[in-house]
Structure formats: structure tokens, C-alpha cells
Amino acid sequence: MRSCDVYWLGRLPYEPAWRLQTAMVAAVKRGDMGFSLLLLEHPSVFTLGRRADGSNLLWSEARCQSEGVDVVRSDRGGDATYHGPGQLVGYPIVDLADLNMDVWQYVRNLERSLISYLRTVGIESAGGPPGLAGVWVGPDKIAAIGVKLSQSVASHGFALNLTTDLRIFNEGIVPCGLADRRATSVAAVGGPSLDVESSARAFTPHFGECFQSETRWFDSARLQSLGEVAGDAVETLESRF
């Protein structure tokens, strides 16, 4: 069985986390790192993926500032989404060739891992039909998925709404560019009020099972070996831990 190194990063701003992913992708390509999973939450931020033209960002720059929500253009797939407190974010960094998967199989496994975890907290959910990647409870999306491939190395990943502020999510953007769909959360569908770090640790075995991998937890200080390649991402981690 392959292994997957798992890191809890706490609450980390989006852009340092993005730079950290970029450094890890480069390390995987060099053969210096293997399969890894970063688990964290972000301060409030709207991100616009590669397909986004900005039309699905509904709030003005001034409104975003007044609400304390940053706006970042990202290189992940997908359109507009929201990250914020009360949301479990997962960024697997992995060479899909090592998993013997194409990107669609990979996305389906991400969905399966989240569906399996949600079942343990009493929520039945399902993956989306073709063109609607993510995890859904009825017509509403409870987890978004957006992936980037660099050659065969995947980054970015998923965001599972636990106690997320859905007002920001559903008023500030058209989530994932789907005007007829809404975002929901574990709390909003009657599930328990879940702490993000506890959920990260409870979710990890489901991830390992779906990817047939042994999950091994490491302190985030181990990522400091990336040094200057990760820039202020590592400095941000050092200031937190």
C-alpha cells in the first residue's frame, strides 16, 4: 500500500497556501516528495478559477472590502467559489501517474472520500453528474472541487462546508457559476456543528481508503525543507507553529 503524508496547517491565507502547493508540485516533479495532503481552513476569500471571467462575482470591490473578503484569481479549474472559516479545505499534491488514474477518476475519488465521511455525521450526499463536479445534498452543493494538473501532478482540491457563512457564499458570488444552484453546509442541513481540525482528522481515513493509501500525519514544520522555493508560505507556517 502506498503512503500519503498528511499535514494540518490551521488557518492559512489563500495565497501563501497556493505558493506552498506550487513548491510541493515542483518537489514531486523532482522526485523529492511523494503523495501529500494539506488540510486547512482559509480566512474569507473569493477565488476565481481559470474559467472565470468575473461575471459571477456579484459584490463590488468596496463591498468585498467592507465584508472582509479578499478576491484572488487562481490557476485551479472551475469558476467562482468562496473559502472561509468553518470550511475544511484539502489540497492533495500527487502525481496521478503514480495512482494510475486519469483526472476524472481522481475527482470521483475525491467525491467518494467526502461522501464517505459525510455519512459518518449523518448526511447522505452524492457526487455530481458530468460537468458538475463536487458533492451535493439534494440540489445544493456541500463540497466544491477544483483541480489543477501540471503535467500529471495534481494540486488544489476540495472545500467542504461545515459551518461556513452561507450568506457570503450565496450573496457574494454565483457559486461555481451555477445560477440555479446554492451552496449548503453540514450545519445547514441539520448535521452537527463540527470543528474544522477535528473534521480534518476524522476525514483522513476516508481519504486514505478511497486512494488505497496509508495516511501518516506529520508536523507542518517538516515542510520548511522547501525553503526559498515556497517563499512566504513557509514563513507564514513558521509564524503559526
Residues 6+ apart with CB under 8 A from 169: 82, 84, 161, 175, 183
Catalytic residue set:
176
CA angle 24, 29, 32 (to 5 degrees): 65
Nearest alpha-carbon partner for 219 in 66, 40, 30, 6 = 6
Q: What are phi and psi of 234, to 5 degrees?
A: -65, -40
For residue 26, the SS3 value is helix
Q: Where are the alpha helices (DSSP H) in 96-212?
A: 96-99, 103-120, 166-172, 196-210
d(CA 67, CA 65): 5
Q: Cα-flanking dihedrals φ and ψ of residue 92, to 5°?
A: -75, 140
